[in-house]
Structure 1
Amino acid sequence: MMRSRVDRTLTVVIYAVSLFLFAMAWATIDATYAVPSGIRPAIAALAALPLLAIRPNPLLGWAISATAALILPLTCSPIDSAFPWQMVHVVVLLALLVAVTVRCPRAAAAVAWLSTGAVLLVNSPTETGVGFAVGMTVVVLVGLLMRELFGSRRQLATQREISGLERARRAVLEERAQIARDLHDVIAHHMSVVVVQAQSAPYRLTSVTEETKAEFDAIGANVRASLNEIRAVLGVLRSDDESAELRPQPGIARIRELIENSRRAGVDVSFNTFGEPPAVPELGGVVLYRIVQESLANAVRHSPGAPVTVTMEHGSDATMVTVRNAPAAVPGPGGTPAGGSGIAGMRERAAAIGGTVDARRLPEGGFEVHAIIPATISTTPEPHP
């Protein structure tokens, strides 16, 4: 906003100065050229109005001004052959030359400097022309100094911006590393202990039946799978490599594996699927997997022993998944799954790609999660306050 206001102000100033110089050149043309009154506005325009191009295209403005400085003394009748230009014309030409030196490539600046010197010497080969050529060279040198100064400031500003981004990136990496350490200490360690206990239980305990041993094996397998996922997440948190965040995530193809793991853990799960899976983007597949995973975890936690039905219907434009569980068959913690953050997380995941999640308690006492995930991802913008 501030920069656009400054740009508008500079544009107005340039227009005002150009019009003032045009009026001055028109009023004082008799002091330089003996020309009819009808062509005076054109000569004044060639002298002053190229200044309008000093911001959008200084090289074009300089070319028009320099060409006019070459042609006018040859086509008009200068009153003073030692100095055959209006002072307004010379001021505008030098201003445009400085702008070319500061803003245009160095090759263009060199061509403009040599051409301007040649124009001055061709039309005024006396000491006056030589003096103006030397003065013009000094002006060009000042323009080069300004160019280097502005370039140094831009480089310094760029380096400061890069340094700020790097500091912010380091802070994020340090925070992620701290989170990874905390997660490892709090979760991964205890889950590793659970795996060891489940694997060693048949050897530590007497009278362990084959059925009990299979149960321990299933517990160990599920905990190991969870532990592997946690370790993958910890690896992403610890890594400063952006490619680590782009590694493949579980999708639709692994939902059947998730169901089988739940069955091995003793959950009565039935899985029904209809239709051919559409070419859902990877993010959509991850959302479907996480919704089924969280729904199964809620069913086990809040309705232990209850049968669970997972139904997945693939359409041409969307995939619908329904996870429904009956009331608890054995006493458990109970409660409503929506009381935690799991269902809220499912809704957020689905909404982020244009899908929906509906979670509700059934009249007969069970619970149902129904999700619709579109085949084409369309992100939903966050509402503005």
Structure 2
Amino acid sequence: MTSVEPERPRPLLATASHRWVRLLPWGLAFVLCVALLPTTIRVLTVDYGLNAGVASLLAVAQSAPLLLAVTRPLLAWYVIFAADVAGALALLSGDYGERQEWPFPPMQIVGYIGLCLALGLRESRRTLVLVWLATAGANVGLLYVAPDRVNDRSVLLMILGGVTLLITGVLRERHEVQRRLTEQETISEAERGRRTLLEERARIARELHDVVAHHMSVITVQADTAEYRLAELPPEVRGEFTSIAATARESLGEMRRLLGVLRNEETHGEVAPQPDLAQIGQLVAATERAGGPVEFTPCDADVPEAVGLSAYRIVQEALANVVRHAPGAATRVSLSLSDAGDRLTVLVVNGPPPEPPAGPLEQSGTGHGLVGMRERVRLVDGTFEAGPLPDGGFRVAAHLPLNGKDPG
């Protein structure tokens, strides 16, 4: 049985993008520790008259844990808080006048403020409130122990500590809210892209269902009527046609059961024949009516239904993007076969708009039209290219193989 090691606490600002920011807590803690340790020893022995051994012990307990505060600020607070209270009680035995601060000398206040910075950047709001209440309670309790030493600066640690905890706590919570908002926006954008991809795949699946169903139905009809159309068929051939028809019907029924869920009540109206290359001219005419000049080079080649449908959808989405993002731009739509006749090239190129639009004409779009075009091309094992042009226009190019595999 393997034991799970506890996760090591991360230093303060460990997620910062700049290295100097990540090193800043360590640098500040080191400077405070190096500066406060000898200063505390000297002040406690010279100004407050404490024994050198006691002063050294208090100085180490009040300063050294500042290095621990970079990774475990609450644990460091337990040590420093106890050392500060013990130091205040120890100072009661010292022989010094009203010229010195009590219960907390200035170097203890500086160290405690640095500790409060670390606490505010790491701990929860509830913990910060409890820390301040403990600080205030200890301060008030010490004042009751020696009321004759009370002055206007006796509550300085309580006030400065509370302000520091409040400011750093607010900054930490604000940063946390912004971080979560950024993460949520990133997740939402990924979900929108994924949803668009799934919607396009579902649409392709429905159209593929129509194409395959048509061909399977033709196979079924031809196999069923073969014995009536072809005279004097041998019995074994007639049985073969019967088997083909039965298999085709079974396959068609299975496919409809698998893909039938895609035809819900919202898609019952999609009963028209699927568009192909012949209908692309209508898209061009509609775009010209919308105000954009379009140069169209058609192709009258006989292509597979899946290729024709994919070409139509790609041109449809590309022209829609021109209308949305570059209204009035000159556009060129070209359909052509390769020299070998085994690949259809779909090219849609638009120039920059005559006048930069104030904003997109359509505010409800998903912004993932290129995802759908890539899925169309992937359906027929083609290649797809899209990107901006140096003059401010945009180019979409798709190469759709006619034999199911792109030779290029």
What TM-score, normalized to structure 2? 0.49
| Residue of structure 1 equivalent to 2:179 | 154
State the alpha-carbon separation in 1 of the partners of residues 78 and 185 from structure 2: 37
CA offset digits 1:268-289 (Å, max 9, x no partner): xxxxxxxxxxxxxxxxxxxxxx
Q: Does 1:19 align with 2:44?
A: no
State the alpha-carbon separation in 2 of the partners of residues 152 and 137 from structure 1: 22
| Residue of structure 2 equivalent to 1:59 | 74
Q: Does 1:104 align with 2:123?
A: yes
CA offset digits 1:116-135 (Å, max 9, x no partner): 11122233454322344233
* Structure 1 pair 115–219 and aligned structure 2 pair: CA distance change class (3 A): same
* Structure 1 pair 216–44 and aligned structure 2 pair: CA distance change class (3 A): same
Asked if 1 retains the 8 angstrom alpha-carbon contact of 2:69 and 2:115, the reply is yes
| Residue of structure 1 equivalent to 2:90 | 75
Q: Does 1:223 align with 2:217?
A: no
1:59 CA drift (Å): 1.1
Instruction: Number of aligned residue pairs: give it.
Output: 239
Percent sequence identity is 34
State the alpha-carbon separation in 1 of the partners of residues 151 and 215 from structure 2: 95
Asked if 1 retains the 8 angstrom alpha-carbon contact of 2:41 and 2:52, the reply is no
| Residue of structure 1 equivalent to 2:191 | 166
State the alpha-carbon separation in 2 of the partners of residues 11 and 86 from structure 1: 24
Asked if 2 retains the 8 angstrom alpha-carbon contact of 1:32 and 1:85, the reply is no
- Of 111, 120, 125 in structure 1, the residue corresponding to residue 139 of structure 2 is 120
- Of 102, 111, 118 in structure 2, the residue corresponding to residue 92 of structure 1 is 111
* Structure 1 pair 224–175 and aligned structure 2 pair: CA distance change class (3 A): same
Amino acid at match of 2:51: P
* Structure 1 pair 222–130 and aligned structure 2 pair: CA distance change class (3 A): same
Q: Does 1:9 align with 2:28?
A: no
CA offset digits 1:126-171 (Å, max 9, x no partner): 4322344233333332233223312321221221122122122123
1:34 CA drift (Å): 1.8
1:97 CA drift (Å): 2.9
Q: Does 1:187 align with 2:189?
A: no
1:37 CA drift (Å): 2.4
Asked if 2 retains the 8 angstrom alpha-carbon contact of 1:102 and 1:147, the reply is yes
CA offset digits 1:79-109 (Å, max 9, x no partner): 4564232323222223323433443233322
Q: Which moved more, 1:174-183 or 1:151-160?
A: 174-183
Gaps of 5+ in 2: 1-14, 144-149, 265-408
1:238 CA drift (Å): 9.6
State the alpha-carbon separation in 2 of the partners of residues 238 and 30 from structure 1: 88
Gaps of 5+ in 1: 240-385
Report 1:136-285 matches (<5 A). 136-181=161-206, 183-202=208-227, 205-227=230-252
State the alpha-carbon separation in 1 of the partners of residues 168 and 16 from structure 2: 27
State the alpha-carbon separation in 1 of the partners of residues 44 and 53 from structure 2: 12
1:15 CA drift (Å): 4.9
1:74 CA drift (Å): 0.9
CA offset digits 1:181-238 (Å, max 9, x no partner): 4533543431232123223434555545543332122212333455466557757999
CA offset digits 1:229-270 (Å, max 9, x no partner): 65577579999xxxxxxxxxxxxxxxxxxxxxxxxxxxxxxx
| Residue of structure 1 equivalent to 2:50 | 35
| Residue of structure 2 equivalent to 1:293 | none
* Structure 1 pair 232–49 and aligned structure 2 pair: CA distance change class (3 A): farther
| Residue of structure 2 equivalent to 1:134 | 159
State the alpha-carbon separation in 1 of the partners of residues 250 and 84 from structure 2: 82
